[in-house]
Copies of this chain bind each other. A is one copy, B any other.
Amino acid sequence: MERKGADMSFPPVILALPDWIQECCGDPARSFPEAGERLRLAVELARRNVERDTGGPFGAAIFDLATFRLVAAGVNRVIPESCSVAHAETMAIMLAQKRLGTFDLRSAGDFELATSAEPCAMCYGALPWSGIRRLVYGATREDVQAIGFDEGDKPPDWARALEARGIEVVHALLRAEAREALECYRNRNGRIY
């Protein structure tokens, strides 16, 4: 017992979404049959995350493609959680996997990740491990970089590499709406990192 005090102690990592997420996502029985509706929720999450000052200007949502229902949501939590891994996409992936009790969403069905902006290099690398079947994003790399964020170094043919792994990619849907959330962050002088 005496050695205990001298041991390294690592409490669990705890990563939470802001409280307003629940009301933003609404009725869990709601169906989102159109890709535009699904992405619009991700963009709305990004926009509210800026307005509520609860993280960076990025939102994501994972949908079950059999029922078109929302399975998990995510927003960027890097600053509030002191965690560079806590991007909107990774938060949504982790929450969906915890909810379904599997590290591989493919074992539970076909799922889509809708994200307000093109994934950074980390989130891109996370996609094949997550088991999602389709990626839909709004703002492009250029839009993200235009407000000062860094997207990291992805392979130049990143979308083709995902397609080769059986992950469909839908590019720059609702781009103008998605860009607005980014611009809102810049106009508020949100911290760039």
Contact = CB atoms under 8 A, between A and B. Distances in A.
Given A28-B6, A193-B103, A85 B14 contact: no
A21 to B, nearest CB: 6
Copies of this chain in its oligomeric complex: 2
Chain A interface residue number, banded: 35 or more
A8 B70 contact: yes
A176 interface: no
Contacts of A28: 6-8
A181 interface: no
A153 B155 contact: yes
A164 to B, nearest CB: 9
Interface of A: 6-17, 21-23, 25-29, 70, 72-73, 78-79, 81-86, 90-91, 93-95, 97-104, 120-126, 128-131, 150, 152-156, 158, 161, 193
